[in-house]
């Protein structure tokens, strides 16, 4: 369990904002810390780490309950990207996956993959607390803690490095299978693993707080998050998975408080999107089934929750209950945010549910024309066009989107549907092939690309299909090599 606990650590587009002021940076320089976590890893190059991260990502998408919610994913990417832009030693693009799990947890893996449980939104009171978890995980990756740990353990383990990597990946994706493989790594090396964990957790805390400060967040967000966790320590509560994986010490919490004090307190983030994302997670991803009771509780607001949170959560509850008039009434109280993507998303969902997809198209066309690179807007607009019967325009929007975001499972899936509706079987087959490759379903992926070879009439499309079949076969071989090494 110790290795698993190391790797299940504490727990990308809106404009980057709240940049550090010049006077803030001058004071910040006084407290810079040395980088001790970026030493070279002899047996695991940066390029190999990136490839392994892609392996993990494919298998995670295919095995975990990844949330396919463009608005939530856009928000998560925006916070993650803002932090990554301020980080040092970034060697590859980061990917942030939102997992449908009510526990308070997040995990980092090789190659810049960070998983965030939907429960994290529920337990964080501020965006700064939420950002502190992401900053900590990003720091584990940029400091190459996992890569260096794997190299050290591979010298003591009966498993090869590839087998060890595969077992660690599987322990996150499928704990029953993964921990069985990891059992061979325990024994004499266990105590050094404990010491290594402590050292790297402390460094991830320090680096993460500095990263928060550079990105414009309140550095006290991390110490505030620690207070939430410390208040639960010692209790048997499966919701606080992060505590099980990384028990907090008073020293660690005090060091975070001291570090934040050195950098200086900022006002907590006032980004309303955090309140909307928190409300959406609470209503849709915390296992709620009694929306009537939740609605009544929100209406009385006994905990004095922010008004934006309450009204948006009420609108979502009404939508889930089928009360579209009530949902619109709650949204109308958020008139100051009518152009916000969270509001637009729900309004257009209501319009489509009421059989007025054309109204949804009208609501989204203007915002999309102003922000065509916003992933949530693009996917919502394309979906509305498809529901309104304009599949040709939906294909056009989605073709542009998937060219920019080829790793979007939602984008490839929607493109396959739109192209099929437009009777473009060639493009539909190609998009389906891409969709299944992204979730490591190689048999179906190759089947669709094979179909494209017989359906597509132009030579260019057939050549692309052949090239993608080669790429998918190489990916499958790479995955198979890691799985064989685990046996």
Question: Comparing C-alpha atoms, which of 174, 214, 180, 187 is closest to residue 60?
Answer: 174
CB within 8 Å of 455: residues ≥ 6 apart: 425, 426, 429
Residue 160 near residue 181, CB atoms below 8 Å: no
Name the active-site residue from 49, 54, 201, 205.
Answer: 205
Q: Is 329 a catalytic residue?
A: no
- The edge-to-edge listing of strands for the beta sheet with 95-99 is 95-99, 113-117, 106-109
Q: Specify whether the CB–CB gap between 256 and 221 falls below 8 A.
A: no
Residue with tokens 């489509």: 352
Burial (Cβ within 10 Å: 0-12, 13-18, ≥19) of residue 160: middle
State yes or no: is 323 an active-site residue.
Answer: no
Nearest partner of 3 among 248, 245, 247, 249, judged by Cα = 245
Please pick, among 74, 127, 137, 311, the residue that the annotation labels catalytic. 137
The catalytic residues are: 137, 205
């Amino acid at each position: 369990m110790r290795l698993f606990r190391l790797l299940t650590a504490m727990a990308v587009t809106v404009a980057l904002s709240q940049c550090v002021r010049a006077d803030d940076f001058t004071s910040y320089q006084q407290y810079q810390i040395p980088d001790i976590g970026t030493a070279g890893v002899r047996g695991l190059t940066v390029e190999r780490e990136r490839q392994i991260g892609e392996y993990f990502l494919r298998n995670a998408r295919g095995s975990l309950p990844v949330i396919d919610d463009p608005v939530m994913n856009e928000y998560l990417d925006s916070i993650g990207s803002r932090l990554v832009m301020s980080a040092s030693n970034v060697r590859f693009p980061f990917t942030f996956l939102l997992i449908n799990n009510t526990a308070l947890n997040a995990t980092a893996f090789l190659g810049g993959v960070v998983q965030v449980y939907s429960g994290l939104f529920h337990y964080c009171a501020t965006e700064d607390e939420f950002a502190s978890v992401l900053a900590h995980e990003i720091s584990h990756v940029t400091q190459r803690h996992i890569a260096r740990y794997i190299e050290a353990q591979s010298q003591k383990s009966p498993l090869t490095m590839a087998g060890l990597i595969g077992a660690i990946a599987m322990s996150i994706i499928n704990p029953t299978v993964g921990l069985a493989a990891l059992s061979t790594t325990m024994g004499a090396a266990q105590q050094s693993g404990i010491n290594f964990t402590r050292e790297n957790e402390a460094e991830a805390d320090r680096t993460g707080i500095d990263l928060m400060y550079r990105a414009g967040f309140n550095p006290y967000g991390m110490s505030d998050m620690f207070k939430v966790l410390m208040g639960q320590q010692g209790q048997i509560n499966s919701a606080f998975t992060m505590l099980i994986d990384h028990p907090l010490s008073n020293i660690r919490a005090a060091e975070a408080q001291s570090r934040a004090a050195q950098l200086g307190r900022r006002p907590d983030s006032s980004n309303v999107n955090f309140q909307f994302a928190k409300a959406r997670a609470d209503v849709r991803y915390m296992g709620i089934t009694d929306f009537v009771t939740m609605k009544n509780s929100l209406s009385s607001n006994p905990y004095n929750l922010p008004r934006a949170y309450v009204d948006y959560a009420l609108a979502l509850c009404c939508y889930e209950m089928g009360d579209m008039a009530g949902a619109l009434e709650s949204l109308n109280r958020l008139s100051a945010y009518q152009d916000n993507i969270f509001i637009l998303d729900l309004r257009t969902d209501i319009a489509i549910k009421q059989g007025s997809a054309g109204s949804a198209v009208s609501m989204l066309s203007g915002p999309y024309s102003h922000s065509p690179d916003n992933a949530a807007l693009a996917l919502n607009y394309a979906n509305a066009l498809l529901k309104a019967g304009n599949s040709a325009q939906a294909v056009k929007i989605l073709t542009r989107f998937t060219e920019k975001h080829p790793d979007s499972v939602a984008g490839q899936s929607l493109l396959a549907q739109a192209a099929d509706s437009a009777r473009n079987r060639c493009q539909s087959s190609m998009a389906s092939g891409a969709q299944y490759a992204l979730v490591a379903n190689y048999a179906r992926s190759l089947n669709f690309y094979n179909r494209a070879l017989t359906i597509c009439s132009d030579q260019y499309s057939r050549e692309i299909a052949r090239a993608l079949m080669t790429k998918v076969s190489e990916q499958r071989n790479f995955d198979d090599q890691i799985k064989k090494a685990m046996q």
